[in-house]
Amino acid sequence: MKRLFPLLTAAALIAPAASALAQVPVGKTNSKAPIMTKEELRACMKREADVEQRRVAAEASKAALDAERAEVVKLSQSLQPLKADAEAKGQAIRQLNERMRELSGRIQAFNAKAAQPAADDTARQALQAEEKQLKTDAAALQAEGAPLQPAYDAAVNTLNEQSKVHDARAAAWNEKQAVLAAETAAAEEQRQAWLRDCADRRYREDDEKAIKAGK
């Protein structure tokens, strides 16, 4: 039977931006960096918006992946009764084979006794009765065993087919999670760069108002 595909752990999302561009009037910050020009401020505001957009997109992607992972977990759980059914049917075959080996031993013992001439009628009748019982037991075991192998094969096929579905879904989830992890790392790098370049820079409030007004 196939081993279930392992699921990976969901990647952590990027944190929201630590701070927006502070509306700090000139002269009220500890930053020694020069006051931003209007175009520098425009660029920083655009970068801040991009950081927030990527954060929102990452949250949406994680929510979708969480829902998809729940479905994969359900598929994994649905395999358990199928696996138990196949195992039970396999155990029934093993038990029947053990009884068949026992019967084979009895037949060998009977053949050894039958190879010797019977001492009297009583011994001959006993051999005949034993032979009849052996044939009855053999027929019963054959009838009992006839449906076992097809039932086991069907159970294993069902398990394998469902395992393929599960494995494909799990593999697809793992690939998407890897993509999200890479996107998360890139987004965090972008956020850190914005914090470094923009978060503590002074700017003119009039420039900010003009930019928000589309000027």
Which CATH number belongs to the domain containing residue 126 in this structure?
1.10.287
From CA 177, how far away is CA 186, in angstroms rounded? 14
In a domain, 93, yes or no: yes
CA atoms of 201 and 104, how far apart (whole Å): 92
Phi, psi angles (nearest 5°) of residue 172 = -65, -40
Is residue 29 one of the residues assigned to a domain?
no
- pLDDT for the residue numbered 31: 56
Give the Cα separation of 191 and 77 in Å (integer).
39
Q: What is the pLDDT of residue 71?
A: 95
Structure confidence by residue, pLDDT tens digits, 169-201: 999 999 999 999 999 999 999 999 999 888 888
Distance from C-alpha of 197 to C-alpha of 153, rounded to nearest angstrom: 66
Q: Give the pLDDT confidence score for residue 65 in this predicted structure.
A: 94
- On whether residue 6 sits in a domain, the answer given is no
Judged on CB neighbours under 10 Å (0-12, 13-18, 19+), 191 is buried
Domain count, the chain: 1
How far is the C-alpha of 190 from the C-alpha of 79, rounded, in Å?
42
Q: Is the pLDDT of residue 11 over 90?
A: no
Let me know if residue 26 belongs to a domain. no
Contact between 200 and 31 (Cβ < 8 Å): yes
Euclidean distance between CA atoms 116 and 124, whole angstroms: 10
Position 118 scores a pLDDT of 78
Domain assignment present for 144: yes
Write out the residue range of the structural domain in which residue 163 sits: 38-212
Convert the pLDDT of each residue in 114-157 to its tens digit: 888 878 888 889 889 999 999 999 999 999 999 999 999 999 99
Inside any domain, residue 203? yes
Position 75 in a domain = yes
Q: How far is it, in rounded angstroms, from Cα 173 to Cα 165?
A: 12
What is the percent of the chain with per-residue pLDDT over 90, rounded to a whole number?
65
Is 4 a domain residue? no
